[in-house]
Amino acid sequence: MSGTETRTAQAPARTTDAAGGAPAPRRGGALGPVGLVLAGCVSVQFGGALAVSLMPRAGAVGVVTLRLVVAAVVLLVVCRPRLRGHSRADWGTVVAFGVAMGAMNLLFYQAAARIPLGLAVTFEVLGPLTLSVIASRRAINFVWAGLALCGVFLLGGAGDGLGGLDLVGVAFAVAAGAMWAAYIVFSARTGRRFPQADGLALAMAVAAVLCLPLGVATAGSKLLDPVTVGLGAAIAILSSVLPYTLELIALRRLPASTFAVMMSLEPAIAALAGFLVLSQALSWVEAAAIALVIAASMGAVRTQVSGAMPPPRD
């Protein structure tokens, strides 16, 4: 997702994949798709934890660069998107999608380098949650927004100013959430303009091209280290290629409301990944705050889906 990439990277759900419209879900046999989405969520967050462990070798920007470049190469080879026959508006949309994707990843990884992974994802989720409330325009969603704010205030009371967290890291996570909201909007538009996974592959290439100069400037020759390249490739597979593929398959059979609930669990999965991979333990107050934001995200998305509004994550 951001991590987000990620994930789409990296919160709320979608009815169609970023590559194009998925067929209407079947009512039966949902266990398989649910397992695929859960595997994708786990893959994204454990890929993010691996990325944090790689940051001492290549820095946050270097890790993002490796992730996006490798993911772009894989997606371009697999999808082989058609370059001709697209209008200027089509290209403008896919470029905007790529810019949002690159910015979302850069900002989130800067946050993850400064604050625990679970909390970084929690603050990032506020972006799609806000978009959900605004898009729905239903009074009940202000309840979910208030619940999310309670979670944020709970974090603020967990110590000295947001639980003693690095405020720069918090700001990066919130900014990543704003870019996630932009990612959602342009992902949906790209999906309507490009067939299959063509738009996603092209947007990933745009993000990689934009981040490459920054990565070279900050990490330099470290990006050519075989161990670093290998770990970066693993992060790209875990955080981008594998979850996108799993979600693409699952969304053909999974109801949007079910997908929404599962994506809302990402802060909890990120906290677990941070604990297991990075030994980032959370206090009970921080865990309760994450739970409040997850509950708010689930409520907002379920309200939006039941109200026949377009879901916020794409």
End-to-end CA distance of the chain: 12
Write out the chain's pLDDT in tens, 314 residues. 444 444 433 333 333 344 444 444 444 444 577 788 888 889 999 999 999 999 999 999 999 999 999 999 999 999 899 988 889 999 999 999 999 999 999 999 999 999 989 888 888 888 877 777 776 667 777 787 788 778 777 766 554 445 567 889 999 999 998 998 888 788 888 888 988 788 989 999 999 999 999 999 999 889 989 999 999 999 999 988 888 778 767 766 776 556 666 777 888 888 889 999 988 888 888 888 888 888 887 777 666 554 433 333 33
Q: What pLDDT, in 10s, does the model give residues 51-94?
A: 999 999 999 999 999 999 999 999 999 989 998 888 999 999 99
- Residue 6 sits at φ, ψ, to 5 deg, of -150, 110
Q: What span, in angstroms and rounded, lies between the C-alpha atoms of 184 and 130?
A: 12
Phi-psi sector, 6: left (phi>0), alpha (psi -120 to 50), beta:
beta
